[in-house]
Chain A
Amino acid sequence: DTGVSQDPRHKITKRGQNVTFRCDPISEHNRLYWYRQTLGQGPEFLTYFQNEAQLEKSRLLSDRFSAERPKGSFSTLEIQRTEQGDSAMYLCASSLGGERFEKLFFGSGTQLSVL
């Protein structure tokens, strides 16, 4: 168990640029989640995958956001035309599935700063 890995740890970008983050879940975990955490707040749900299928999306996930999990393993989260309000910590989590709300394992996150 090597844990959930997220890359990069930090990303600084200029407003209007596109950014992509990667998440590698724990192997054999079929459920994968993306959350966003802003300073002083708790994480907010963005989207959920079961294997390669994206089954839930939050209304927070505007048209500029897209997430994929093409082979049911790693996932990417892309933000197009970034805005300063996108600055946040983007967290990925995975779980083995089976029982609902089985323990989620979180990565350390990608900190995005939009200048």
Chain B
Amino acid sequence: AQSVTQLDSHVSVSEGTPVLLRCNYSSSYSPSLFWYVQHPNKGLQLLLKYTSAATLVKGINGFEAEFKKSETSFHLTKPSAHMSDAAEYFCVVSDNFGNEKLTFGTGTRLTIIP
């Protein structure tokens, strides 16, 4: 069975400084990995996805993530935080074993300090 662990439930950064949201995964098979963002009162939105192509994945709004198999990690980064980045971020895994189930982490709330 697949799972993800988001290592921080809450991250605060100052506007203009780098963002790092950490995620470790567990999967019996070669996984697909995603990051989704949830703004208040809005639907979840896909930021980026990894599906066994390039290990460094670029997403929307300047976010990127690197798949590291040796560390079973898929951390999300952004060079410079913007106030509009304040939201809940979910790391998501699928086991690529023929089903459509996505397994979400518990989320990391990102706060941006002006």
Contacts and interface: CB of A to CB of B under 8 A. Distances in A.
A45 B45 CA distance: 16
What interface size band does chain A fall in? 20 to 34
A55 B43 contact: no
B43 A3 contact: yes
B32 interface: yes
B101 A58 contact: yes
Contacts of B32: 100-101
Majority SS at the chain A contact face: loop
Contacts, number: 55
Interface of B: 32, 34, 41-46, 49, 51, 90, 92, 94, 96, 99-107
A101 B49 contact: yes
A109 B74 CA distance: 27
A48 interface: yes
B94 A101 contact: yes
A43 B104 contact: yes
Nearest to B101: A45
B104 A44 contact: yes
Contacts of B94: 101
Interface in A46-67: 48, 55-56, 58
A33 B104 contact: no
A103 interface: yes
